Structure 1
Amino acid sequence: MVQLASSHDAFDELSGDVVVVPGFAGSRLVDTQRNNEEYWLTEDLLEDRVHPPMHLPIHVRDDAPDPVVSQGLLTDRPYIEYYSHFIHTLQQTADTSQGRLRVHLFDYDFRRNTVTLASRFIDYIETINRQQQQPVFVIAHSMGGLIALAALHQRPVLFRGILFAGTPFHGCIDALKNLQKGALWGRNRDVFTAETQFQLQSTFTFLPLDGRGLQHRENGTEWLLDFQDIDGKLEVDYAGAITEPGDGLCVNALLY
């Protein structure tokens, strides 16, 4: 009989530098113009009492500065369980490892594109590498996995391994739904509206790579699209309709 190791035993086997990369919306955002006031994620936001604009200006490109910046992971929120238990256990293991394990938390502005974020991540890992003179092990969730994968392709020598958790390597259907109807956070429907989703660079990272997700309303046949083709991308109007590029005519399509 094979006895499976407990989760605690698995943590005990970790050593060296371990970097945790959260998923979409897993990093704190603060407003530098308001003395680093909490921007994302607050209890007032989840309770639909405040509606901070989450979009980036439509003209913002790549690494252009914005007063709202990332600052740490969402690990200490009494009103929502995000990464709290996992980070606490991991850090507790590091604290009792006599220096064998070192934990690093990489936060990022999840509104931006993965190309820019991967470049920042590489800089972050290179700093650790210069200090410790050894590659790192990465634990990456969701969008964090896409960032880590992009960095791995560019600088494989920096990594000794990556654990991908729930990473949408082929995109996800929810990206199309969010472009049509927005996304609900807690009780709040007015933060990540369809308009806001369209103005997030990261939204387009999640579009299905296989072009699936739509069907014609009239006959139910599948409507395949290359979402990575800049000339074939969907245009989403602010009423939530999907239209063909150029002519502004509404396509009778349903998400499935």
Structure 2
Amino acid sequence: MFAEFSASELNLDSSKSSSVRIVKVPRDPLESVLEHLTGDLVILGGYRGSILRSAETPHRQLWVPMKVGLKVRKVNLEVGLDPEDEENMEKSIIPSGMLKNIGPVDISKRLFKRVRECENARSGKLRVHDYGYDWRLSPHLLSRKLIEFLRKLPSNQGENPSGALRCINILGPLRNGDAVLLNEKVLTAHVNFSLRTTWVFLPEDGYCFIDKVTNEEYPVDFYDTNEWVKYRLCPSRKLVKDRTLAPQMDASSSSTEQQQEETYAVSPKDKSDRSKNLAYLARTLAETKRFRAELQHSPAHQAANAYPPIAVIYGKEIPTVFAARVACREAIPCQDAYDNLAFGSGDGVVLAKQAMPPPGLYKL
């Protein structure tokens, strides 16, 4: 806390008071906001930003305790590929509020503490809700549950979630998986494949790969299952011929592919799994595309003043991936397709220009 003092309070000669600089430090912006904030405040995390627990007592934390990151505990976050697997997921795994910290790394713990300790929260004028959701499930399902939750709030605010992010970084985890601290077995490529929210971040305009010399664009239709197989974007060995060792572009590629085709041709079980995975992929891509289409600006909603006020805090100081540089279009299926990346301004995950409010919404 900072304050201003007069020359007399500092026991200084008043004749020399003109030499004393009085500095007024700006107030903490959050304090100013909390003074005027009332009603219901819902705080929720983004992708992978909610705690997941076992539905069985004592409700052991599955996402993401330090023991999992350090390979001390094993968890299975894979979602079944059938629609009913999502609806029944709460029988085995339940959400439990926003992820506030991972070990010593603070994510939102101090934010919750400051908000809940403000005067309006203590007096009951501000109600703080820690909303958790199972971020692995379909956006349609998650949106429905969020709307149901919002409708039950005392202030009864907001029924029209809007906006859609685009993040091509998701293609790396889809093909190769990604690590949680030191653990590479929690979010394997196949687990990421089964998470319905993974697909929401795919670019609709097909922009992802560019020529590393000429910057020519090589658009890919990420909502076409044939493109996923053709360019080996998918992780499952049952869906593509080889996930981690995609053959490089040399004379041996054709012979390697022929051997793999012969290997997969003799396994009826693999054929069945491949068909199931393809059916899941086609269904999920179609549902995701429909979900994103529903988020587009609606003149009717605008005319009815149905859109809630929206404000976006975005970052532009951290290099953020916006494309992958490849030798040619034929190089997209290769193992090293994501080794040479192009960066722009953003927060490290989402580009600044992609974090803007959706087109058509009211702007101050």
Fold agreement, TM-score > 0.5:
yes
Q: Does 1:125 align with 2:150?
A: yes
Percent of aligned positions with the same letter in both sequences? 20
Provide the C-alpha distance between the structure 1 equivalents of 2:50 and 2:133, rounded to a whole number of angstroms: 6
User: Residues 94, 57 of structure 1: CA spacing in aligned structure 2 closer, same or farther, 3 A cutoff?
Assistant: farther
CA 62–118 in structure 1, closer or farther in 2 if over 3 Å, else same? farther
Q: Which residue of structure 2 lines up, in the alignment, with residue 162 of structure 1?
A: none
Residue 91 of structure 1: aligned partner: 116
For the residues of structure 2 that align with 1:76 and 1:95, how far apart are their CA atoms? 25
- Residue 116 (1) aligns with residue 114 (2): no
Structure 1 residue 10 corresponds to structure 2 residue 33: yes
* 1:43-93 Cα shifts (integer Å, max 9, x gaps): 111212223111101224474212011122223654332211111111112
Give the TM-score normalised by the residue count of structure 2. 0.53
2:234 aligned partner:
236
Could you say what secondary structure the match of 2:105 adopts? Answer: coil
Match of 2:80 among 42, 51, 57: 57
Question: In proportion to residue count, which structure has more helix?
Answer: 2
* Residue identity opposite 1:24 in structure 2: Y
What is the 5 A alignment of 1:76-87? 78-87=103-112
Per the TM alignment, residue 111 of structure 1 is displaced from its structure 2 partner at its CA by: 0.5
What's the counterpart of residue 47 of structure 1? Answer: 70
CA distance in 1 between counterparts of 2:205 and 2:50 reads 29
d(CA) in 1 for partners of 2:58 and 2:79?
20
**Map of 2:331 onto structure 1:** 252
1:185 partner amino acid: V
Q: Contact between 1:72 and 1:106, CA under 8 Å: does it hold in 2?
A: yes
Separation in 1, partners of 2:168, 2:119: 38
2:125 pairs with one of 100, 103, 111: 100
Question: Equivalent of 1:31, from 50, 54, 66?
Answer: 54
For residue 123 of structure 2, give the secondary structure of its aligned residue in structure 1: coil
Deviations 1:126-168 (A, max 9, x none): 111xxx25426xxxxxxxxxxxxxx5159xxxxxxxxxxxx8x
1:124 partner letter: F
Letter in 2 for 1:252: A
Structure 1 contact 170–209 (Cα < 8 Å) conserved? no
Q: Indicate the SS of the match to 2:179.
A: strand
Change over 3 Å in CA distance of 1:70–1:170 after alignment to 2: closer
Point out the more displaced range, 109-118 or 9-18: 9-18
1:225 aligns with 2:220: yes
What are structure 2's unaligned runs of at least 5 residues? 1-25, 237-242, 248-259, 262-328, 342-364
Inter-CA distance 206–240: structure 2 relative to 1 (3 Å threshold): farther
**Equivalent of residue 176 in structure 2, options 166, 176, 181:** 181
Distance 1:210 1:33, change over 3 A: same
SS, match of residue 118 in structure 1 = helix
Q: CA deviation at 1:110?
A: 0.6
Q: Which amino acid aligns with 2:75?
A: P
Mapped partners of 2:215, 2:84: distance in 1: 38
Instruction: Give the Cα separation in 1 of the matches to 2:123 and 2:185.
Output: 47
Corresponding residue of 1:72: 97
- Superposed CA offset, 1:170-196 (max 9, x none): 410211111122122211111111121
* Residue matched to 2:207: 212
Could you say what the CA RMSD is over the residues aligned between the two structures, in angstroms?
A: 3.3
Determine if contact 1:242/1:251 at 8 Å carries over to the other structure. Answer: no
